[in-house]
A and B are shown apart, each in its own frame.
Chain A
Amino acid sequence: MRHLPLSLATMGLALALTPAMAVTARAEAPVTTFTLDNGMQVLVIEDHRAPVVEHMVWYKAGSADETPGVSGVAHFLEHLLFKGTKTLEPGEFSKVVAQNGGTDNAFTSLDQTVYHQRVAADRLELMMKMESDRMVNLQLDEADILTERDVIIEERNMRTENDPGALFREQAMAAQYLNHPYGTPVIGWRHEMEQLDLDAALSYYQQFYAPNDAVLIVAGDVEPDRVLALAKDYYEPLPANPELEVRDRPAEPRQTAERRLTFRDARVSTPYVMRTYLAPERDPGAQEKAAALTILAEVLGGGQTSVLNQKLQFGLKKAVYASAFYNGTSLDDTTFGLVVVPAPGVSLDEAEREMDAAIAQFITDGVDAAQLERIKFQVKASQIYAQDDVSQLARRYGDALTSGLTVEDVKAWPDVLQAVTGEDVIAAAKEVLDRNQAVTGYLMPAEEVTQ
């Protein structure tokens, strides 16, 4: 049994290993790129096995690009983009997609906002027509705003307020980032969400929704020439925003004190300890350190044979579950995290001490060569498996291209991962796993634990 039915899955544990590229055993999955005259990037990923296409527009703007004081507005606007344009009624966008046998949705993250539809390949033009329309022609009224604001507050209730683990992780992120906007939750702080208005939404829209701030990705049963021709018809006539600024966000100051927090809630019945360290992300042309951290997360917490599970779960029997997580695809400094769920009778203090002892021992011992070899073989295999899911591949490209990376970086990533040595992993561990650059959090029940 590898996974505990804890709500830890939402922490991005599955992201520990995301080799972002498709090299087939026979031939590379064809990826073609263009840039339109107005600056919009276009990426086509071909997969002709089924008559399906995924049409996605990725904006290089997420919650971390919001103005202070209106947290949640990026996500709020994402909802409002379904409320109609000069030519589409509220709700008509999704209705038309459904009438054409398709599905559509959207999501907002720290660094990007994404709109996507999945339709039969011969409906691509209609998707481009509607998506290009709402990039510039959004039309909103006050009534739409108020009802939809209630919806996002219910969304926050569901995702965060009803889940003490989510509240705890929100506090930990806020403690991690004193100055950088990653400390503010994507969904928004509740008191600010309650005040979001039309002006805030439209101001974000006008600032960021422009072709020169967007990446179009079309994946599936399409020919690149056809995508380019359609993109020229629908997206190229849209005006670029000349005032688009470089995404230069406030940086974190040097951390000079260890940060610790204890989150207590009556709804907690499985306490755990979580440690997150500020960590470098993948940078264009310089992904080596991020690659070492990606491998480190696998080595430390990637499964039953990982260092933390070997030592804490199987060896000392101090934990029922341990994991490490790192997602290097991020515009600015990201986090490297560890989680330990203690065994019955083991306090969080003790679990934390054993976790630190295991890591110290690991740094002394070095990386097990056989384990490293297994991980690298899995990286290779994941490139083959990735070809089976072109939507997933499209997401990896979209995520990277809106996080400051290039197509070349994405293509190089598997090789960068393969080049990581045991020494690189230890060097990365020594640099990043420093308690004085970290937040350590305990999630606990409301009363004293009497274990």
Chain B
Amino acid sequence: MIRRFIMACGLVLGGTLAAHAEIEIQQVQSPGGFDAWLVEDHQIPFVALELRFKGGGSLDLDGKRGATNLMTGLLEEGAGELDAQGFAAAKEAIAADIGYRLTDDTLGISARFLTETQEEAVALIRASIVEPSFDEESVERVRQQVLSGLRSDATDPDEIVSRAFDKAVYGDHPYGSSYQGTIESVGALSRDDVVQAWKNAIAQDRVVVSAAGDITADELGKVMDRLLSDLPETGAPQPDRVEVQTTAGVTVVPFATPQSVAIFGHHGMKRNDPDFFAAYVLNTIFGEGGFESRLMNEVREKRGLTYGVYSALVPKDHAELVIGRVASANDRIAEAISVIREEWAKVASEGVTQEELDQAKTYLTGAYPLRFDGNAPIAKILAGMQMDDLDPDYIKTRNTNIEAVTLEDIRRVAAELMKPDELVFVVVGQPEGLDAATMGQ
């Protein structure tokens, strides 16, 4: 049992690197013209490699919800001359880890492989993205796995609440539904749909690459050319932006379970907004700073209403939110929501104190160098920075930018960002004493 609630949805500012980091980012261009960021470190004989394709689950075509997700699940289920078990056996034989992950905005591949088996590992990754088989038998088998997951999600309060909240704030935009699709949509997908999703999502015009560990810039260049040269140049166009507009209120999705789960939030701030640093510091104080945050202090420490409550800035590629989450017993959730509303309004009108600001700064700047203590985390951070369009120099200026945030900045940004009259709560459970609309599942 872990004492502290682990945030399910925390946002790391930019993917960050230490101010006084002893790492050096090399910007690598391959002979074929592909770019990557690299941190070379030859102390441990393995490589961490990240590939990210912008677009992700939101690229699903109309009526084909879940196609990109099903396709992603199939990448490791047979490629080139290998069938699903052959691919798995080949991967096991060289002890390579190759993970495929889909989000609303990204299809990501995280790999690590031993230096001695780099050749074989790269060949497997290449086969999985360049020549996946998508054979009918695997399509059917993985479809059943996805459907099994979807059936579980349909009676899991955490999943019900996030789907209902997304629907409420994003409406018909792809963000408004799960990229896993529905039982109906996934059931209707054909092999052709999967192939189309692959062509749409995995292309040269949207890829970001990073690596850390036992590999040189020259070697990485060759690896990139092998992996990416045979991909199509372009994929599907990115989805449109969606402007989130909400009016304060509570919606309940009735579900028989002892503890209600709530997600709340409204429109947020873009990642490239000049005020993002101030918003980030503000959110650390308000809801993301662990035990020291106002939400944790008011809802958990003082009142014992929950095990965990947090807020987060969620700047996606095509919309941005500030959101939060709390779970409390059905007879206590109303009080938790009332406390959260009060805190939301209070921070919007009053900002924070100098003491809170000073503490948040020492925390954020001090924690900064602790983040990249291995090849695997460094490779992920470098990929995240590129996805956020940050410059490698961001490393050197990040802590200075945090330090520069003033009490007045926070007050101004809090007044703009935190909008009690737009704060929407979606609650799943059997909450008592809530004045709310209800919503079917």
Residues of A within 8 A of B (CB): 1-2, 4-7, 24-26, 47, 49-52, 75, 78-79, 82, 90-91, 94-95, 98-103, 105-109, 118-120, 146-155, 157-159, 161-163, 186-187, 220, 266-270, 303-305, 310, 313-314, 317, 320-321, 341, 343-344, 370-371, 373-375, 377-378, 380-382, 384-385, 387-390
Contacts and interface: CB of A to CB of B under 8 A. Distances in A.
B154 A154 contact: no
A305 B89 contact: yes
A147 B298 CA distance: 12
B370 A118 contact: yes
Contacts of A371: 89
A384 B46 CA distance: 8
Q: Which 10 A-B pairs have the closest CB atoms?
A: A101-B366, A150-B304, A381-B95, A1-B73, A304-B88, A157-B259, A50-B373, A147-B304, A5-B149, A155-B307
Contacts of B95: 377-378, 380-382
Given A1-B77, A24-B44, A50 B369 contact: yes
A270 B144 CA distance: 12
A382 B435 CA distance: 54
B3 A79 contact: yes
Interface string B306-336: 1110000000000000000001110010000
10 contacts: A1-B77, A50-B22, A91-B301, A101-B364, A103-B290, A162-B157, A162-B259, A317-B141, A374-B89, A384-B44
B152 interface: yes
B42 to A, nearest CB: 10
Nearest to A266: B256
Contacts of A91: 291, 297, 301
Contact of A154 (B46, B89, B259, B364): B259
Contacts of A100: 362, 366
Contacts of A389: 374, 376
Contacts of B307: 151-152, 154-155, 157-158
Given A105-B3, A154-B306, A269 B292 contact: no
A107 B46 contact: no
Contact of A269 (B22, B155, B373): B155
B406 interface: no
B1 A159 contact: yes
A118 B43 CA distance: 23
A94 B292 contact: yes
Contacts of B50: none
Contacts of B400: none
Contacts of A99: 359, 362-363, 366
A304 B1 contact: no
Nearest to A314: B85
Interface in B72-107: 73-74, 76-77, 84-85, 88-89, 92-95, 97
Contacts of B142: 1
A147 B366 contact: no
A187 B1 CA distance: 7
Interface of B: 1-4, 18, 22, 41, 43-46, 48, 73-74, 76-77, 84-85, 88-89, 92-95, 97, 112, 114, 141-142, 144-149, 151-157, 180, 256-259, 261, 289-292, 297, 300-308, 327-329, 332, 359, 362-370, 372-376
Nearest to B116: A25
B399 to A, nearest CB: 10
B256 A267 contact: yes
B152 A6 contact: yes
Contacts of B365: 101
Chain B CB within 10 A, most for which of A161, A187, A320? A320
A330 B256 CA distance: 37
A99 to B, nearest CB: 5
B290 A98 contact: yes
A270 B3 contact: no
B336 to A, nearest CB: 10
B371 to A, nearest CB: 9
Contacts of A310: 85
B83 to A, nearest CB: 9
Contact of B369 (A2, A51, A304, A370): A51
A79 B291 CA distance: 12
B4 A105 contact: yes
A168 to B, nearest CB: 13
Given A100-B366, A155-B307, A5 B153 contact: yes
A154 B3 contact: no
A158 B303 CA distance: 17
A49 B43 contact: yes
Given A98-B292, A101-B362, A106 B258 contact: no
A147 B373 CA distance: 37
B89 to A, nearest CB: 5
B75 to A, nearest CB: 9
A381 B95 CA distance: 6
Given A95-B359, A313-B141, A384-B46, A374 B76 contact: no
B373 A390 contact: yes
Nearest to B374: A388
Contacts of A344: 144, 147
Given A305-B88, A343-B144, A374-B89, A148 B1 contact: no
Given A270-B152, A304-B88, A151 B291 contact: no
Contacts of A385: 46, 97, 112
A102 B85 contact: no
A208 B45 CA distance: 42
